[in-house]
Amino acid sequence: MSDATGTVTDPLEYREGRGALDFGMLAVRNGLLTAEQLDQCRAKQAASANLGENRTLKDIILTDRLMTEEECLRVERAQQQLTQDRERKQDLKFKGYEIISTLGEGGLGSVFKARQVSMNRLVAFKVLHNQWISDDEFRKRFVLEARIVGKLSHQNLIQVYDVGREGDYYYFSMEFVDGRTVEDLIREAPRKQMEVGRAVDICIQTLRAINYYKDFDIVHRDIKPSNIMITRSGLVKLGDFGFVKSKLDKELGYEGMVLGTPDYIAPEQAMGKDDVDYRADIYSLGATLYHMLTGRPMYDGTPSKVMLAHTRTPMPDPRTYRPSLSDDVVNVLMRMLEKDPNKRYANITSLFADLEALRDAHTAKAATKYEIGKSSIMRALNIEKSRHNEMAEKIKAAEAKAEAASAAAKVAWGVAAGACIAAITFLILWLAT
């Protein structure tokens, strides 16, 4: 459903057909429910609908004691706030931009597809949830840091174009990526586990972006599946630098719950250290790779439990969830996910080398599979070809036979005609004598 300006007004119309304002999704994003639990609850809900019962998701979650009443209330409040906020933003006019539709909703703001009028280009337009941003210092910092990020330019980074303010709302516009997020790809993969070669390739391309911006002493701070997009041609685009959030996380108390998941947070960030460097991003990339390969984030539970686990609990064995993972894959994950940044990959070059070796090994395996597939196709083709040849020979033989028969008939005719002529000649001669 869209209004006169083409703006998508129905929150159910984007992403998953349900929208990021959905109760279940918000609960998952905030670590109150695991994605697996949400799937199970939805299956129960569908089953109850088939029986004509129409139970709500909240009802099922409460009956199964997956969340408390209080937690449900918090999610509902956040849901209400987000919906009101988004509606208000859609009604706003941002100078120089035409909002076309809603792309998604994150912890920090709403993302719209828009046209930047001056450049006549499509952009992704992120408007921050303003009621949570009261701090002047924060506002200054947001603009300053967005400008720094706007100076970066790399094919694996979503380019930030512009930053500004309209009334109470802060926004920035960025390159519009016509593609999908890694979060989407995980959700769509069989058992939510992506092919190893593909997952590793996404990691390599993201690492190229890290390798580029780290030379500017910039740390992303929020590498996670929903912030990595893949274009239709397979190019990785890392977006959403988390500088704003690292500040917000500390400022927001209660309502800060919807700010996002700590599933991929580096231990040093979880401990609140200020002087983190690019190695924190290597950890988050490792946690993202772990999720792509196993189909689940490293730790389950409430945000505070997950944060604590990142600082103390060893990496759960990924082979528990995917036994076929090779030692090499597990070793790379372990080294990316070392709790102590000094024990993580000593330099990006060696991580590149290890990831490339993994990708090549797994792409070669996939190619072998393809070869096997190809050879069976070739075999089938050859059988078909020889059948065709056999048939062609039979047809030829039949034609030859027919030709021979007609030649024989011709000869017979010739003989008969000759005999006839001879007989007539003989008769004429006889009559003449």
Ligand X SMILES: Nc1ncnc2c1ncn2[C@@H]1O[C@H](COP(=O)(O)OP(=O)(O)OP(=O)(O)O)[C@@H](O)[C@H]1O
User: Which residues bind to ligand X, rule: CB under 6 A?
Assistant: 103-109, 111, 124, 158, 174-177, 181, 226-227, 239-240, 260
As to burial, measured by CB atoms within 10 angstroms (0-12 exposed, 13-18 middle, 19+ buried), residue 43 is exposed
Quote the tokens at residue 210.
Answer: 């890290």
* Number of residues near Mg ion (by CB under 5 A): 3
Q: In whole angstroms, what is the distance from residue 111 CA to residue 269 CA?
A: 26
Name the one residue in this structure whose structure tokens are 């048939």.
391
Q: Return the number of the residue (238 or 293) whose C-beta is nearest ligand X.
A: 238
Q: In the complex, what is the shortest distance from the CB of residue 53 to Mg ion, in angstroms, rounded to a whole number?
A: 36
Q: Return the number of the residue (166 or 328) whose C-beta is nearest ligand X.
A: 166
If contact means CB under 5 to 8 A according to the sort of partner, which of Mg ion, ligand X, none does residue 108 touch?
Answer: ligand X
If contact means CB under 5 to 8 A according to the sort of partner, which of Mg ion, ligand X, none does residue 260 touch?
Answer: ligand X
Q: In the complex, what is the shortest distance from the CB of residue 220 to Mg ion, in angstroms, rounded to a whole number?
A: 11
Interface positions, 99-138, toward Mg ion (CB under 5 A): 106
> Does 240 engage in binding with Mg ion (CB under 5 A)?
yes
Q: In whole angstroms, what is the distance from residue 56 CA to residue 64 CA?
A: 13
- DSSP for residue 8: B
If contact means CB under 5 to 8 A according to the sort of partner, which of ligand X, Mg ion, none does residue 174 touch?
Answer: ligand X
Q: Which of 85, 222, 263, 281 is catalytic?
A: 222
> Does 263 engage in binding with Mg ion (CB under 5 A)?
no
Q: Return the number of the residue (106 or 303) whose C-beta is nearest ligand X.
A: 106
Q: In the complex, what is the shortest distance from the CB of residue 390 to ligand X, in angstroms, rounded to a whole number?
A: 57
Q: Return the number of the residue (100 or 336) whose C-beta is nearest ligand X.
A: 100
If contact means CB under 5 to 8 A according to the sort of partner, which of Mg ion, ligand X, none does residue 230 touch?
Answer: none
Interface positions, 178-237, toward Mg ion (CB under 5 A): 227
Q: In whole angstroms, what is the distance from residue 212 CA to residue 215 CA?
A: 6
Whether 30 contacts 257, CB under 8 Å: yes
Torsion 94-97-98-104 (CA) sign:
negative
Whether 122 contacts 28, CB under 8 Å: no
Quote the tokens at residue 304.
Answer: 């505070």
Whether 18 contacts 25, CB under 8 Å: yes
Torsion 241-177-75-305 (CA) sign:
negative
Name the one residue in this structure whose structure tokens are 């993580």.
344
If contact means CB under 5 to 8 A according to the sort of partner, which of Mg ion, ligand X, none does residue 103 touch?
Answer: ligand X
Q: In the complex, what is the shortest distance from the CB of residue 94 to ligand X, in angstroms, rounded to a whole number?
A: 16
User: Which residues, other chains included, contact 93 with Cβ-Cβ below 8 Å and sequence gap of 6+?
Assistant: 166
Q: In the complex, what is the shortest distance from the CB of residue 361 to ligand X, in angstroms, rounded to a whole number?
A: 31
Q: Return the number of the residue (175 or 195) whose C-beta is nearest ligand X.
A: 175
User: In whole angstroms, how far apart are CA 235 and each of 8, 157, 173, 228, 230?
Assistant: 27, 10, 20, 10, 5
> Does 162 engage in binding with Mg ion (CB under 5 A)?
no
Q: In the complex, what is the shortest distance from the CB of residue 224 to ligand X, in angstroms, rounded to a whole number?
A: 7
Q: In the complex, what is the shortest distance from the CB of residue 238 to ligand X, in angstroms, rounded to a whole number?
A: 10
Q: Return the number of the residue (22 or 240) whose C-beta is nearest Mg ion.
A: 240
Whether 19 contacts 105, CB under 8 Å: yes
Active-site residue, 222 included: yes
Please give the torsion angle defined by the CA atoms of residues 314, 284, 78 and 132, in that order, rounded to the nearest 10 degrees: 120
Quote the tokens at residue 207.
Answer: 């690492």
Helix residue spans in 252-345 (DSSP H): 267-270, 278-294, 303-312, 327-336
Q: Return the number of the residue (224 or 279) whose C-beta is nearest Mg ion.
A: 224
Enumerate binding residues for Mg ion (CB under 5 A): 106, 227, 240
Catalytic residues: 222
